[in-house]
Every structure is written in C-alpha cells, then in structure tokens.
Amino acid sequence: MRRLIRKFVPKTTAKQTRKRRPPRGSRVVIGGLAAGGLAMLAGLGWAWSSGWAMVQRDALLAWGIERSVAAGLTIRAIDIQGLGETSRESALGALAIEAGDPILAFDPEAARTTLETLPWVRRAAVERRLPDRVRLRLVERRPLALWQSGGKLALIDETGVVILREELGRFRELPIVIGDTAPQQAQALFTTLKSEPALLANVATATLIGKRRWNLRLRSGVDVYLPEDGIASAWASLAEYDRIEGITKRKIAAVDLRLKGRLVIRLLSSKAGHASGRET
C-alpha cells in the first residue's frame, strides 16, 4: 500500500543557515569583561606572591584576638590530668602558655603534638573550653626494661621507645635486654614471662639471639636458653621445676629449654659438657 503520510522536512536556505554575528556593542562588552577578569587575576596573583594578602590576613586575626581579650576570652585555668613522671612545670613550659594568654590564640592540635614530644608522654589530648579553660590529659609511658647498646643503657617502654638515657639509677632493678632489635621484641617476651612472676623477678638480662630467640641470665648466674617457638610451655616447665628443685638457688651453669619436651641442666663442673636431662 502506498504510504499516505509523508514526513515533512522544512527546507532551509543558505541565508538561514548562515551564523549570525553578535552586535558590535556586545563584542566590546565581552572583551572588556575578559580584560577586567585577567587584570583581576593578575592583581590577586601579585597580592599573594608579594605577601600582601597574608599580611592583611594576619592583621585581621590579630585585631580579632585583641577584641577577644577585651571581651574576657583569656586563659584563666589550666587543668592537667595524668601527671606522674611528667611535672606540671615541664608540661606548661613545653607549651609556653600561662594564665592571661588569649584563649583564641591557643592551638589545641599544636599543643597535643608538642606534649607528645616530652620523653614520658605517650599520648596527649588537649581541649580548649571557652571562655577561659584549657584541659590537658596525658597518658605516660610505662618502663619495661633497660636496653644495653654500645656499652650504654637506656630506659625503654612497652613499645620499645627510648624514654631516658641518663639518670637511670632508680630503674636498676629492671631487667636488661641486649640486641639491636631487642626493644621492639621485648614486649612479646615479657608478656610471656609474666605468666610466672616469681621466676620473672629473677631475670637479670635477656639477650636476643639472631633476632629469633632469647637467652636469659638469672640473678643467681644461671643461664636459660629459651626455644624459638613454644616459649610459654617451656617457661612454665622451668617454673614448675624451680618450685620443686629450687633451681634458681642451686649451683647450675645453664638450663637448656630448646629441645621440645625436655629440660637439660648443665652443672657447674670442671669437666666440660657435664649435663643432666629431664623430661617435661
């Protein structure tokens, strides 16, 4: 069947398709706006690069702080929680703040970062409570051991961070760890040794061997060779044997726990290699 409806497509002439140019006046306006925009950008760039904008900003901030002081927004109370080894004087001295300072000029985040650089501070939280109070909360490091390196001692915490390198006399009862990576691995060791606190109290030194296992020296002079794996069960066996035989009080050269399920005792003797074994 013939198609009865034909799609109508209007014809266009060359004159109609020719692009119309904007009026001359509008071209002048657009050109002026573009030139003005470029000039403004150039001016802003100059203001920024020359420091003029920053000077004006700082002046405005200073004016605002002066007005806040006039309105009574000054630091009148500084509360500090968690003081122990860290003194109030050292905390305030590190922050260089005192009563009467503008509270709006106090930066809590910068203060937190500064406090955490103090040797005993592990974490800090700082709050600015308007209109006149600053609150500091400190969490101090807990001494774990003394680290011997290069013939010198340093006090370390549970994470292996060095707290102090001088005036260590009051920490002389802490065990000494020896080895390049001993501070980082000491926490795992002492967490296991704490399961037998009486025996742990007799540990004088712990030497890391090959970054894999530990040798202990008891205060009685007995050496204890711990295994690479299964430290907990070996340590429990030694503690049981000590309760029965009083090993820490006997004249013994060493106790070797490196063989699984066995406890080998090396006696003090002029004959090398003299040893006795015990199943555990």
CATH code for position 103:
3.10.20.310
C-alpha distances (whole Å) from 9 to each of 6, 12, 14, 17 are 9, 9, 16, 15
Lowest mean pLDDT among 38-42, 152-156, 195-199: 38-42
| 182 and 251 both lie in a single domain | yes
Calculate the average pLDDT of the chain.
82
Residue 247 has pLDDT above 60, yes or no: yes
198: amino acid identity, one letter: A
C-alpha distances (whole Å) from 251 to each of 89, 217, 218, 245 are 51, 14, 12, 12
CB of 97 within 8 A of CB of 79? Answer: no
- Let me know if residue 60 belongs to a domain: no
pTM for the full predicted model: 0.73
| 110 and 220 both lie in a single domain | no
Over residues 65-92, mean pLDDT = 87
Residue 187 has pLDDT above 50, yes or no: yes
Residue 114 has pLDDT above 90, yes or no: yes
Could you tell me the pLDDT band of residue 248, with boundaries at 50, 70 and 90?
confident
d(CA 46, CA 49): 5
Over residues 114-132, mean pLDDT = 97
- Let me know if residue 110 belongs to a domain: yes
| 149 and 274 both lie in a single domain | yes
Structural domain boundaries enclosing 86? 77-140
Most confident listed range (57-61, 221-225, 271-275): 221-225
| 217 and 162 both lie in a single domain | yes
| 151 and 272 both lie in a single domain | yes
CATH for 156: 3.40.50.11690
Q: What is the pLDDT of residue 73?
A: 85
Total domain count, the chain: 2
Higher-pLDDT residue of 138 and 4 is 138
| 128 and 188 both lie in a single domain | no
CB of 230 within 8 A of CB of 260? Answer: yes
Give the Cβ contact number of residue 104 at 10 Å: 19
Residue 16 has pLDDT above 60, yes or no: no
* Percentage above 90 pLDDT, the chain: 63
| 172 and 250 both lie in a single domain | yes
Nearest alpha-carbon partner for 190 in 237, 236, 145? 145
| 130 and 226 both lie in a single domain | no
d(CA 75, CA 68): 11
Range 147-163 burial, b when 16+ CB lie within 10 A, else e: bbeeeebbbbbbebeeb
| 99 and 152 both lie in a single domain | no
